[in-house]
Each structure stands twice: as structure tokens, then as C-alpha cells.
Structure 1
């Protein structure tokens, strides 16, 4: 057990840890609030400000831009700041920004530029919140319980992503978009109150040595991540996975709605099956991690994710083949896709959290997360080129090929035999 870990108490039901119970409840509320308000955002973008396709692309990009420009810096800060306090402050900031939106709507001041400012502000706050939450979790539960904790978080996130849009759509029809933002602001305020109730012991970072600055600390975090014998292949595999994932998710919506001519309701059913698969995967992830080891559980998820996209690329589907067969294949593919992510995500994140010392958690996570966002940007652009040049099924096949490569990185590395809770020496 690492010296930075909480007390090595015997594993028990994870929600019986009071600090984690507050953390999980707040995180679950925020997930539901975000997915519910996401419906209102789309309505405002399309119907209220009448955004052009180019403006829609800019608004989508603004939510990711903070990670590209600030991700590494914020990660370094989180290894010096009190993470629990940072989490509370950013959640309060989110509540304030969300509360501004209905005021803009009511006063008629909402336009592309004001919505862009809101989107950018929420992106920055999300960056700070994510950068605080991941390294905080190992301080809330014993490191042996991290797979169970991340699985719980994954389950609630999956349920929110599956049910949230439906709830948001129903509420939108009843109360309108401005009230949805009020609801999300209230949810964020409640989440901040719960986060403030988290009791956690956080170490104070030692003062920087003379002549050192945040750039030195960022470089240290990158060296640690990419020189570590098991974190290096894990990080590289994640980056390749993100490249493949950006290609398939960009192409899938066009493939399903245009190539296969699925009606919107059928497309929604397929996505919902992906959510079900993700929930099932998150339920079984801790047991698989304990039985197979972290490395093999992650590898299983990486291998599984190849199957649905290879199937969609190779199985001859067409609008003339019958709605039932087409929807069945697409829905089954989404279920396996969600199942794979549900298995690998808790084991992936938990292994990172269990291996890295507390003092470098923020930088290690931000290094991986920032490169992932950059790779996703590149992959989305590559997907557009591939769809134009080789067609939609072949583009999905190319994404599956990157998933194969991500699996091979783990299969031929020391990570394959790694287990959770490995001792880390500073």
C-alpha cells in the first residue's frame, strides 16, 4: 500500500465510506444536470440563435479548447492546491454561469457570442473540476477499493447519459429551455454543498525550489508518465484508442442516419443500448479486475471494442435489408461498444490512481487527458477526410484498426500482467 493512501481498511461496500458517498452523490447529480441541460443547449443553438453549421462547430470546439491550452498547467496546479476546495469552487462557478443563461434568454441578450462565452466558461470550469476530482478520489477511499469506486461512478454516469436526454426532452416540452438551465444551476449548487461536506486529509505541497516554475513541474509529470514501465504503455494505448474512437463516433452518426437511413427514434434506441452495455460493463468491471488483474481487464475491454466496429464495417447492411435486421445489428454493436468501455474505464482509471504517488496524480492525469483531447481533435478531422475518400464502412473499419493497435500496445507490454494496488515508491 502506498504511503499516500488512506488507511488500508478491509474492502467494504464503497458507499459506506462517508467521504466517497458525498463525492459520488455530487458527481451523479452533476452528471444528470449536465445531460438534462445539454438538451436545452442544443435547442438554444439551433432554434434561438439560429447558428450556422460553422458556428455549431465553433461552439462544440470551445468546450474542448480549454483542455488543449490549459490542461497541463491546471494539472500541475492541482498537485499544489487543495483539490476538494477547487472542486467546490468550480461547481459553484458552474451554478453561477448556468444561472446567467436564462437571464440572457429573458432579456433577449442571448446571441452567438454570449453563448460562446458561456460555453467557454463552462469548458474551463469542467477542466478544473475534472482535474481536481481524479486525483482527489484516491484520498477518499483505500486504493484497493478504487476499482469499485470508479465502477460506481461509471454506472451513475452511464445511467445519466442514457436517461438524462429523455428527461431533458420531456422537461423541455413542459417548462422550456430557460427553466432547464435554472434546474441545472440548482443541481450544481446542491452538488457544491455536498462536496463541501467531504472530509479529507490533503497534504500540502513543499515549496518550489529556487529557480523552478510550473513548466518544470509539467515536464516532470510528463517524464513520469511516459517513462513509467506500465503507465507508458497504458498512456500510449489510451491515445491510440482515442484516435480510433474519434473516427468511429464521428462517422457513426452519418453512417446510421444517412447510409442506413435509420429514423431518429431507432438511432436513439441504438444509443440507449450502448448505455445499457456500459452499465453492465461497469457492474462487472471490479470483479474482472480482481480476477484477471488490471492489465488483462483493460486488455479485454480494448479487444472487445474492436468487434462492434469491425462488424459494422464488414456486415452488408442497407436500408433495403429490413429495419428490424439493421436496427438489431446496430443496437447489438452499440451494446458491445458500451460493454467494452464499461469494463475498461474503471480498471484503467483505478490502475493509474493506484500506481502514481499523490504528489504527481494531477500532472499524470492531465498529461494523459490533454494528449487524448488533442488526438480526438485530429481524429475527428481525419474521419471527415476518410469518409470522403474511402466511404463510411471503410472509415469504421479504419477506426477498428486503431482499436486493434491499442490492444497490441497492452498485449506486448508489462502492463498486461499488472494488478491493481501495486506499490509505488517515491
Structure 2
């Protein structure tokens, strides 16, 4: 059975939330592309350079669930613009430090850790706020449009801009990121003040108890539990694939840096197309079936990548993989918003995100070990096996 869906109205707040998300993603992408280059200019130690990236993941594991509980307690709109103003000030100070030659690896680690800690509140608040800005029947389309806009900004705008900004100065990408945070904060602050209703908290309720309540609610909902299990398995597979993709393309396929760039670009273009068509697919098949179908197709793409030793096959597979990845992500978030009990969406979304972040580095280690032991094409096949398990975990929900 299909799922009713209409196009979200850009007025009434959604357009401003979309613009804030896209602007913020552009700034984040500028920073994440420039920071490894800055780290490499400060040290040749691979472990230290990798530690900068790790500090960007660690807060989700330490504070992700706490960020979701906070997002359920507070006014999401105010939390989002306040967090973005703090992040803007932090990035402006960091840009000044870089411009004055005071950057260090320790400072990069501290900034990456602080930004992601604040992001745990912002992202969960944004997920919880969206259903109050669009009609229920427009949620799927709204999520697809948000993710498509972010994909465009992160892949096709930030990539060409980074070299241009670096020519102007090493600090410029970070100053631009600071400006995007401030602009996003202004856009969010202009949203309607009425947000989602929050249930009164029980007397004496603690954040720890509220986090546990959210986890129990996630576990009791069979569809969300299956979706969470499947998403975690897929993220482990994605970690294995992404961590070794450059070796797969330049080594096993012998396609060079140009082949790697083509594969990454194909993935981004496919994701944009997937965002455009995700709503129509959900209307025809239903949300959970759309996720199931996306997982099946992605499994086939991974098998093709691991068995067909032709650059064109990998480029085509990556395009289709990206297409279905956006279909999965948009419908996953929408299902979470539709099925979460009132006042608990922040905590449920934080559980999803914490597991997703935990899966990525685990998968990266798994992919590296598989490539070293059995060949550079095997991480794609390991990922295919994990995606198969993910699809299997969803099977009871589509009957």
C-alpha cells in the first residue's frame, strides 16, 4: 500500500529551516575538507592526523544520547540558534588562531570535539522540530528535500570552493564556516516560535531516566527496532567501503585518482537524484518497503563492485548506491518521526545516530583488515554481506 505525501510548503518555516540546513552543511563541508590538510601541514604523524578525525566522532558516542534527551526537554528552535551562535564564535576564534599562526594539532582536536558535542544537541533538535513545520503527509518529501539540498551543498559546492578559499589564505575556509553558522542561526531564530508539544516531565525526573525511557520506547516499537538494527549493520558496511574505496579504485581497478574522483562524484550525483525521486518511490511502495528495496539494490551494487573489475562498473554501481542511499535515509528519518511517541523524538533519533557513528569506525577497521587479508576488493563484499543481514532484519516488517 502506498503512503500519501504532498510537497511541503516553503512558507511557514520549512523554507528557512531548509536554507539553514543547506548553509550549515556547506560550511561544515568546507571545514571538514580543509582541516585534514591543515593537520597534515602541522604533523607527519598519521596517528595524530587520524586523531583529529576521531575527535569529530567521539562526542556522539559519549554525549549522543544526552544530546537527544536535552533536545526533548528544551525549545528546539532556541536550542538550534543558540548552538549555532556558539559554533560560529568558536569557528571565528579558530580562524583567527590559524591566521595568526597559532594552530596546533591539539587545538584542532579540541575544536573538532567541541563542534561535534554541540552538534549532538543541534541535529536531534532539528529532527524533532521538523514535524511541527510541515503537515504530517509532507514529512517524507520534506526530509528528502532537506537531504538533497545538503548533498548538493556538501558535494558539488564545497568541493570546488575549498581550493579557491585556500588560495586566499589558510584561515579563510574556517572564517567562511563561522559565517555560515551565524547565517543559519539567524534563519532558525526567525522560525515560528511554536514548536512541537512536549509532555510535562515527571517530578524528580532525571536525564538518565529520560534517556532510558527513550531507549525502551525504541525497543518496544518492532518497526523502529528493526530499522535501527538494519541501519547499524549498513553503517558498519559503509564504514568498510568508504575507508578502503580509494584503494579499491586506484589499486584493484588501477583507475588512478581520476577514477576515484569519478566514483565519488557518481555517488553524490546519484544521491541527489535519489532525493528527487524518494517521495514518489515511497508513494508507490510504502516507506518500509522503500527502505527494504533500497537495501536490496545497494547489496547488488556492492556485489558488482567487488566482482566486476572494470572502472565503469564501479562508477555506475556508486551512482545507483548513492541513489538508493538517499531513498533509505529520507524514509528512515520520516518513519522515525512518524512512529516516535510525543516528546521522545530527540531521544530516539539520538539512539539511531549514536549507533550509526559507532558503526562507521568499526566498519573502517573491518574493511582495512579484510583488504589486507584477502584483497582490495573484499571490503565491498564484506559490506554486501552486512547489507544482506540488514535487509533480512527488515523482512518481517514488509509482510
Same fold (TM over 0.5): yes
Question: What is the 5 A alignment of 1:154-165?
Answer: 154-165=147-158
Cα distance in 1, alignment partners of residues 238 and 221 from structure 2: 25
Is 1:197–2:181 an aligned residue pair?
no
Measure, in 1, the Cα distance between the counterparts of 2:227 and 2:159: 35
Aligned to 2:37: 43
Match for residue 180 of structure 2 among 143, 164, 187: 187
Decide whether aligned partners of structure 1 residues 16 and 409 sit closer, same or farther in structure 2, where only a CA change above 3 A counts: same
CA contact (8 A) 1:40 1:168 kept: no
Matched, 1:341 2:325: yes
Greater mean alpha carbon deviation, residues 273-282 or residues 10-19: 10-19
- Kindly state the Cα deviation for residue 350 of structure 1 after the two structures are TM-superposed: 0.5
Corresponding position of 1:135: 128
With normalisation by structure 1, the TM-score equals: 0.89
Correspondence for 1:6: none
Higher alpha-carbon deviation: 158-167 or 148-157 = 158-167
Q: Secondary structure at the match of 1:209?
A: coil
Greater mean deviation of Cα atoms: 151-160 or 174-183: 174-183
Cα distance in structure 2, aligned partners of 1:214 and 1:119: 25
Distance 1:248 1:355 in 2: 31
* Cα distance, 1:204 vs structure 2: 4.4
Runs of 4+ in 1 over 3 A off after TM superposition: 10-13
Which region of structure 1 is more displaced relative to structure 2, 11-20 or 36-45? 11-20
Alignment of 1:104-119 (within 5 A): 104-119=97-112
Aligned residues: 395
- Partner residue in 2 for 1:370: 354
Task: Look up the match of 2:302.
Answer: 309
Matched with 1:218 is: 211
CA distance in 2, matches of 1:265, 1:82: 47
RMSD (CA atoms): 1.7
Q: Distance in 2 between matches of 1:398 and 1:101?
A: 40
State the partner residue of 2:64: 71
Measured in 2, the distance between the counterparts of 1:346 and 1:159 equals: 15
Tell me what 1:420 maps to: none
Residue of 71, 83, 87 corresponding to 1:90: 83
Alignment pair present for 1:31 and 2:25: yes
1:17-71 CA distance string (max 9 Å, x none): 3211110011011111221233321221112x12410011111110010000101
1:393 and 1:221, CA in 2 relative to 1: closer, same or farther beyond 3 A? same
Q: Distance in 1 between matches of 2:201 and 2:232?
A: 33
The change in CA–CA distance for 1:62 and 1:178 in structure 2 (over 3 A counts) is same
* Equivalent in 138, 144, 149 of residue 137 of structure 2: 144
Unaligned runs of 5+ in 2: none
Distance 1:397 1:109 in 2: 45
Is the deviation greater in 392-401 or in 33-42?
Answer: 33-42
CA distance 1:207–1:53, shift in 2 (3 Å): same
Contact 2:274-2:327 at 8 Å conserved across structures: yes
Residues 365-385 of structure 1: CA deviation (Å, up to 9, x unaligned): 111211222222322222222
- Check 1:88–1:282 CA distance in 2 against 1; reply closer, same or farther (3 A cut): same
Task: Give the corresponding residue for 1:391.
Answer: 375
- The CA distance in 1 between the partners of 2:330 and 2:65, in whole Å, is 23
**Inter-partner Cα distance in structure 2 for 1:217 and 1:160:** 35
TM-superposed deviation, 1:176: 2.3
Deviation string 1:170-220 (CA, Å, 9 cap, x unpaired) is: 42354122122112211211111001001042334413334x422211111
Runs of 5+ in structure 1 lacking a partner?
1-9, 318-325, 418-426
Distance 2:221 2:287 in 1: 16
Bigger CA drift: 260-269 or 278-287? 260-269
- The counterpart of 2:171, out of the listed 168, 178, 183, is 178
- CA deviation after TM superposition for structure 1 residue 286, in Å: 0.6
Deviations 1:96-118 (A, max 9, x none): 11111221123221111111111
Contact 1:39 1:169 in 2 (8 A): yes
Q: Which residue of 2 aligns with 1:102?
A: 95
* Residue in structure 1 matched with residue 16 of structure 2 by the alignment: 22
Deviations 1:87-146 (A, max 9, x none): 101111121111112211232211111111111111112222112111111111111111
TM-score, length-normalised on structure 2? 0.94
Q: Please list the CA deviations of residues 273-321 of structure 1 after superposition, one character each: whole Å capped at 9, or x if unmatched.
A: 1111101111111111111111111111111111221011111x2xxxx
